[in-house]
Chain A
């Protein structure tokens, strides 16, 4: 009897050890509250990496935040100039490039206007025409000077890296994981998603894109080694006298951007670019955004119009799946 039991145990152990081929690594995950949002990190690797990533995120927040006293950006906004830390300088440089690429549809100097609308504090108000005209005089990214790590702002100017900071941070966390030899990880910084490699079984990561009109997601994007960032008016808005005002401000008018889009999703290998472009393309509208995509490379996009139509750029034809019952998917070609 004892012999039998030993044999059965041995057989079971053998089945457990060999039955499923090489054992899949266990994922470690953490939820962090930083940069005014909830962040979820999943890594197939050492659990200590999550602590390192958390430290990195808090460090970046303390340097890039526009509201945290003592941050590089806070100092520049108060004093008109500042010597930036390495990360802040690199990100400011990247941000200014994206501002130029989009012809000012993204403008990191729009901060005073955003503040006037109350989107930074939650004390929402509709600024008057005169007030906006006055504020727009201090909105022009091309007047901002970045020499090496020295940032200089014209009188009255203020910058905010919020439109690219989460994308940059996601990429930084992914770089940290990659440097530690990890081959599979996914970070979601409040909707800024970036993936390292594919899932351990080799299949792509599946990212749902939130439905701007309701709950749930309207489609799924399959990605490997890529970031996915979505911008939509539904994320933060207020209503006054029956009019909805959302947080994505058109730098050319100083008012919430109404370009006919309700959400823009940008995907590509560069998290910072995806983050910045998702805002910029929302401001530009479908036509101009499609033209920018044709003229430049490095990203693909999913657009949802205010009437609920879904457009994708042709590079996503295999990677994007529309949920059932969402009508017909329209593809934008290079042509």
Chain B
């Protein structure tokens, strides 16, 4: 039989590694450009620095509907017809983690930097 202390050490190590990774990932810088993926496909790219007024739009798919709300510099899911509404509860997108609606296979996340864009014209 394995000693209890060994189990404790294994679990504490696992916890420490996860905790460290969490803190590291969660402190990553955010960018301006947001990518929206549905079913793994990039469906929209939005530069939040170009958003001048509040607006919203619906993303419809075979799985259901998510209403995306944009305000200058930020984005969130304001409504959805999924059962758990985790995406709505997630609030505004932060640099930490993507907003995810698993039932609708929807992911909203910051693209790295300015979405590999050096400038925007227009």
Contacts and interface: CB of A to CB of B under 8 A. Distances in A.
A binds B: yes
Interface of A: 40, 42, 186, 188, 191-193, 199, 205-210, 212, 214-217, 220-221, 228-232, 235, 263, 265, 323-325
Contacts of A206: 116-118
Contact of B120 (A217, A231, A232, A323): A217
In this complex, which of A205, A214, A215 has the most chain B Cβ atoms within 10 angstroms of its Cβ?
A215
A191 B120 contact: yes
Nearest to A216: B46
Main secondary structure of the interface of A (DSSP, over half): strand
A220 B115 CA distance: 10
B45 interface: yes
Interface residues of B, number: 23
A324 B120 contact: no
B44 A210 contact: no
Interface string B29-70: 000010000000111111110111001010000000000001
B122 interface: yes
Nearest to A235: B122
Contacts of A221: 121
B21 interface: no
Looking at chain B's contact residues, the main secondary structure is strand
Given A208-B115, A324-B41, A215 B121 contact: no
A265 B121 contact: yes
B119 interface: yes
B120 A208 contact: yes
Contact of A215 (B41, B42, B51, B119): B51
Contacts of A231: 122
A215 B50 contact: yes
Given A206-B116, A206-B118, A229-B121, 16 more contacts: A188-B119, A191-B122, A207-B118, A207-B119, A208-B115, A208-B117, A209-B120, A210-B120, A215-B52, A215-B55, A217-B120, A228-B119, A228-B121, A232-B122, A263-B122, A265-B122
Nearest to B47: A216
A230 B122 contact: yes
Contacts of A232: 122
Nearest to A204: B118
Contacts of B43: 324-325
The 7 lowest CB-CB distance pairs between A and B, nearest first, are A210-B122, A230-B122, A216-B46, A188-B119, A208-B117, A208-B120, A230-B121
Interface in B92-119: 115-119
A210 B41 contact: no
A199 B69 CA distance: 35
A158 to B, nearest CB: 27
A192 B47 contact: no
7 contacts: A40-B119, A42-B118, A199-B118, A206-B116, A209-B121, A216-B44, A232-B122
B15 to A, nearest CB: 31
A40 B49 CA distance: 14
A214 B51 CA distance: 8
B117 A207 contact: yes
A216 B122 contact: no
Contacts of A215: 46-48, 50-52, 55, 70
B117 A220 contact: yes
A248 to B, nearest CB: 13
Contacts of A192: 121
Contacts of B70: 215
Given A206-B116, A215-B50, A216-B50, A193 B44 contact: no
A112 to B, nearest CB: 27
